[in-house]
C-alpha cells in the first residue's frame, strides 16, 4: 500500500499479514486468515472486489475462502438495499469468535478423532496380554483424554466471557 495511508491502516496491514502467517500454524490457509483479519478490522462490510484489491488475490481464491469463512460462521453475508453484490462482515466479538472456532474445530477434527479412538478401543477390548493389551490401553487413555478436553472446552464455551476469565484466573493463579 502507499505511504499516504493513515497510521491505523498501516498497523491494520501489518495485523492482516501476521494473522495470515499465523493461520498456517492453526491449520488454515494464509488467504483465509488474511480475509478474516481484514473483515474483522473493517469499519464497514466489504464486497469481494474490495477484498481482492486489498489483498491482491484472485476472484476464485477470494470466493473460495469467503465461502469457507461463512461455513465456519466467522463471517456473514450482508445485503445492502439497492446493491446486487454481496458484502461480508466478520464477527467482531472476540469471545464469540473463540466459541465459534472451538465448536467448528471440535466438529471437524476432534469428533472424527474420537470416533477412531472409540472404534480402536472397542475392536481391541478382548485383548488380554502383550502388545494388543498395550494398544487397547493406549486407545482408551487417548479416548479419555480427548473426551476430558472436549468437556472442558464445552464448559468454557458455555460460560459468559467474564465468568470464563474469572475461572481461568483461579485455575492459573
Q: Specify whether 99 is located in the same domain as 86.
A: no
DSSP assignment of 26-55: TTS-HHHHHHHHHHHT-SS-EEHHHHHHHH
Q: Specify whether 133 is located in the same domain as 65.
A: no
Q: Place 3 in a pLDDT band, splitting at 50, 70 and 90.
A: low
Which of 71, 90, 109 is at the close of a domain? Answer: 90
Average pLDDT estimate for 137-160: 91
Q: Specify whether 98 is located in the same domain as 86.
A: no
Question: How far apart, in whole angstroms, are the C-alpha atoms of residue 81 and residue 118?
Answer: 51
- Per residue in 82-98, pLDDT (tens digit) is 999 999 999 999 888 98
Whether 1 shows a pLDDT value over 60: the answer reads no
- Per residue in 15-70, pLDDT (tens digit) is 999 999 998 888 789 999 999 999 999 999 999 999 999 999 999 999 999 999 99
Range of the domain at 106: 94-172
Q: Does residue 2 form part of some domain?
A: no
Question: How far apart, in whole angstroms, are the C-alpha atoms of residue 31 and residue 24?
Answer: 9
Question: How far apart, in whole angstroms, are the C-alpha atoms of residue 40 and residue 96?
Answer: 12
Which of 62, 90, 118 is at the close of a domain? Answer: 90
Say which residue, 6 or 164, is predicted with more confidence. 6
Mean pLDDT of the chain: 92
User: Based on the structure, what is the number of domains in the chain?
Assistant: 2
Q: Specify whether 39 is located in the same domain as 68.
A: yes
Whole-prediction pTM? 0.77
CA-based nearest residue to 138, from 152, 120, 150: 120
Q: Does residue 1 form part of some domain?
A: no
Amino acid at each position: 500500500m502507499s505511504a499516504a495511508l493513515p497510521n491505523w491502516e498501516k498497523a491494520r496491514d501489518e495485523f492482516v499479514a501476521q494473522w495470515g502467517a499465523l493461520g498456517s500454524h492453526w491449520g488454515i490457509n494464509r488467504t483465509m486468515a488474511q480475509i478474516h483479519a481484514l473483515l474483522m478490522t473493517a469499519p464497514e462490510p466489504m464486497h469481494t472486489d474490495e477484498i481482492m484489491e486489498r489483498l491482491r488475490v484472485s476472484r476464485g481464491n477470494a470466493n473460495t475462502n469467503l465461502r469457507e469463512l461463512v461455513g465456519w460462521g466467522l463471517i456473514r453475508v450482508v445485503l445492502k438495499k439497492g446493491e446486487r453484490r454481496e458484502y461480508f462482515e466478520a464477527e467482531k466479538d472476540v469471545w464469540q469468535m473463540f466459541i465459534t472456532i472451538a465448536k467448528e474445530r471440535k466438529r471437524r477434527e476432534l469428533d472424527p478423532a474420537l470416533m477412531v479412538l472409540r472404534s480402536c478401543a472397542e475392536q481391541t477390548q478382548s485383548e488380554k496380554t502383550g502388545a494388543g493389551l498395550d494398544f487397547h490401553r493406549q486407545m482408551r487413555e487417548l479416548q479419555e483424554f480427548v473426551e476430558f478436553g472436549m468437556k472442558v472446552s464445552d464448559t468454557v464455551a458455555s460460560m459468559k466471557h467474564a465468568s470464563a476469565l474469572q475461572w481461568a484466573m483461579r485455575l492459573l493463579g
